[in-house]
Chain A
Amino acid sequence: MFAIALKMLFHDRAKYLGLVLGVAFSTLLINQQLGIFIGLITRAGAVIVDVPQADIWVMDSGVKNLDTIFPLRDTELGRVRGVPGVDWAVPLYKSNVTIRTGNGELEASLLIGVDDSTLIGLPPEVVMGNIDDLRRPDAVAVSVDGFRKVWRNEPLSLGNIAELNDRRAVVVAILKDSPKFTSSITFFTRYSQALQYTNNGRNQMSFIVARSAPGMTPEEVSRNIVSRTGLQAMSAKDFRYKAIMYVVQNTGIPISIGTVVALGVLVGIAVVGLMFNLFVLENLKQFAVLKAIGTSNLRLIGMVFLQAAVVGFVGFSVGLFGATMFFETAGKSPTFQGFYLPWYVAAASGAVAATIIVLAALLAMRRVLFVDPAIVFRG
């Protein structure tokens, strides 16, 4: 009977294609939008990810995210270093600067100032150059995507000169960093050099990044720092979560993307549900014939579910392939860099596709179950 069910399904190619495309479209939309959403909000914590050596972040008690910063006094660094459980602690500077690009245009850029002596705070992956050269005067490192945006159409190279807030900066290294939420151009330099670019004088420390001593958890040490200094301190993991949640709770991103995802689900249910219902309706007389000649309701239900399952599986596969291709292709562009399709999003979309199919099948099944087989005797 299942062979007959499949032949019935594939016979009306237009309807079969419509059903498959309905599921595929819904799957594609869910995966693409949720992938972008997760990629986008993950960027909110990119600066934290780029300092893997530190497991504790210390900041002013009023700081809620990485972008709204209240500078710390230089003396706070010494106090944090004195807290029991702190293995080491170094300053980190973060600010926005204006950069003049190779063709004279101005671009907003992020400037990260790292500890002068240890250079802790730099992303670990060096694409070109030597980070020790950052100790030279006016030396900066730039992110790969930043380089490509500032010096368009030029191959990656060292020695390029930029103007950061009208001051000379020489590129001595190119680094691979995590894509940021606000800007794709990031410059890295020493802490002391960063203060010169921003001309802000003393007491400009954005964060103190620290490492918990062996045998202690970052959470324990963070609690010690809070109680002893009155500053805000938390593990890198918690701070990243807080930064991400700030974006989720204070921007329209979740609502706008959530709306598109909800539409994808609704359109999927509506289109597939209605089309599958129509498909069964058009084949109702065939089901009635099968019923009349002795097919049990259980087998008819099996046939309908098989047809729905095939539509769901093929549609989901097509949609998932489309979404994968999107991230594979678009992921190469700096705009979408770091965006990917998490397995749990794919799994969730699979669950949605299954729900769509089950609902469509249940809706259609009613008709099959209640069709009067005696209609076959009516002309």
Chain B
Amino acid sequence: MSGQIAVQCEGVIKDFGSGSVKQRVLHGIDWQVPIGATTFLVGPSGCGKTTLISIIAGLLTPTAGSVRILDQDITKMRRSRVVKFRANRLGFIFQQFNLLPSLTAVENAAVSLVVQGSTLAAAKRQASVLLDRLGMEHNKFKYPNQLSGGQQQRVAIARALVHNPQIVISDEPTASLDAETGREVMELLGQVASAKDRAVIVVTHDNRIFPFADYIATMSDGRIDSFRKNST
């Protein structure tokens, strides 16, 4: 593991509901995600992976514990600062792509820059270059419903990286793709996302893509059972 830490979770607990219907989903997670590596978070459905990355992304607040991202404790930040932090430092890739159907591929890729405050025109110019790198030069002006699953995920990758975030959080990026397209997407993600000053966190239970991981954390029942360097 490199010396620098991208994400540091300490005693993270998350409960949903209260009283008799209270359910503990995370049981005191202690975890460190290194910078300059692709870290996979794996485990069966319902083990708490999505809840953990939602907390790391600042979308959910933990019941107890702290989460430091790039040396900043987001659990102690005001909500408005967390929102800004997300816009500037994090990139997201979702299982269902979650592209905006009313925007073209290049506009979708530009959204992260627009959220930061760029004009749509300037953001599109930047996004266009990235889409070219991702092999989307002929599909930039198509709408999501005119693109295949693999192409949509490339646009989603562009959206996650266009504003040059230091942490990329990817939730089941290959779950909606066939094996071949999934492998291509992971190769692309490895090429464009991997950088020595960036951490990539991939939540998955697709073991076909495990070879793309530098580190693998295994979760079950709201706990991280193991965290190891990937040898496959």
Residues of A at the B interface (CB closer than 8 Å) are 1, 3-4, 7-8, 10-12, 285-286, 289-297, 372-374, 376-379
Complex Cα spacing A1 to B117, Å: 8
Q: Please tell me if B207 contacts chain A, counting CB pairs below 8 Å.
A: no
Known: A1-B114, A294-B83, A378-B50. 5 other contacts (CB 8 A): A1-B115, A3-B114, A7-B107, A293-B159, A376-B59
Q: Would you list 28 pairs from A and B whose C-beta atoms are within 8 A, ordered by A residue?
A: A1-B114, A1-B115, A3-B114, A3-B120, A4-B100, A4-B103, A4-B111, A7-B107, A8-B100, A8-B102, A11-B102, A286-B102, A291-B83, A292-B59, A292-B92, A293-B86, A293-B87, A294-B87, A294-B112, A294-B115, A297-B83, A372-B59, A374-B59, A374-B60, A376-B98, A377-B54, A377-B171, A378-B50
Tell me whether B100 and A373 are in contact (CB under 8 A): no
- Binary A-proximity of B90-106 (CB < 8 A = 1, otherwise 0): 11101110101111000
Tell me whether B98 and A374 are in contact (CB under 8 A): no
Complex Cα spacing A376 to B92, Å: 10
Complex Cα spacing A72 to B144, Å: 84
- Nearest Cβ in chain A — how far from B220, in angstroms? 19
Complex Cα spacing A4 to B159, Å: 14
Tell me whether A377 and B80 are in contact (CB under 8 A): no
Partner of B94, one of A7, A290, A294, A377: A377
Tell me whether B115 and A295 are in contact (CB under 8 A): yes
Complex Cα spacing A12 to B80, Å: 31
Closest to A10 in B: B102
Partner of B172, one of A7, A286, A379: A379
Q: Report chain A residues within 8 Å CB of B101.
A: 11, 286
- Binary A-proximity of B45-70 (CB < 8 A = 1, otherwise 0): 00000100110010110000000000
Partner of A294, one of B54, B86, B100, B120: B86
Closest to B169 in A: A377
Tell me whether B80 and A296 are in contact (CB under 8 A): yes
Residues of B at the A interface (CB closer than 8 Å) are 50, 53-54, 57, 59-60, 80, 83-88, 90-92, 94-96, 98, 100-103, 107, 111-112, 114-116, 120, 159, 171-172, 175
Q: Report chain B residues within 8 Å CB of A292.
A: 57, 59, 86, 92
Tell me whether B92 and A293 are in contact (CB under 8 A): yes
Closest to B119 in A: A3
Complex Cα spacing A211 to B206, Å: 98
Q: Report chain A residues within 8 Å CB of B88.
A: 294
Tell me whether B59 and A293 are in contact (CB under 8 A): no
Q: Report chain B residues within 8 Å CB of A8.
A: 100, 102
Tell me whether A289 and B100 are in contact (CB under 8 A): yes
Q: Report chain B residues within 8 Å CB of A377.
A: 50, 53-54, 59, 94-95, 171
Q: Report chain B residues within 8 Å CB of A293.
A: 86-87, 90-92, 111-112, 115, 159
Q: Report chain B residues within 8 Å CB of A286.
A: 98, 100-102
Closest to B117 in A: A1
**Nearest 3 CB-CB pairs, A to B?**
A294-B87, A11-B102, A294-B86
- Nearest Cβ in chain A — how far from B113, in angstroms? 10
Partner of A290, one of B50, B95, B111: B111
Tell me whether A4 and B120 are in contact (CB under 8 A): yes
Complex Cα spacing A7 to B102, Å: 6
Tell me whether A294 and B116 are in contact (CB under 8 A): yes
Q: Report chain A residues within 8 Å CB of B114.
A: 1, 3-4
Complex Cα spacing A373 to B94, Å: 12
Closest to A375 in B: B59
Complex Cα spacing A1 to B53, Å: 26
Closest to B86 in A: A294
Q: Report chain A residues within 8 Å CB of B116.
A: 294
Tell me whether B172 and A295 are in contact (CB under 8 A): no
- Contacts A293-B115, A294-B87, A379-B172 given; indicate if A7 touches B103 (C-beta within 8 A): yes
Complex Cα spacing A145 to B138, Å: 69
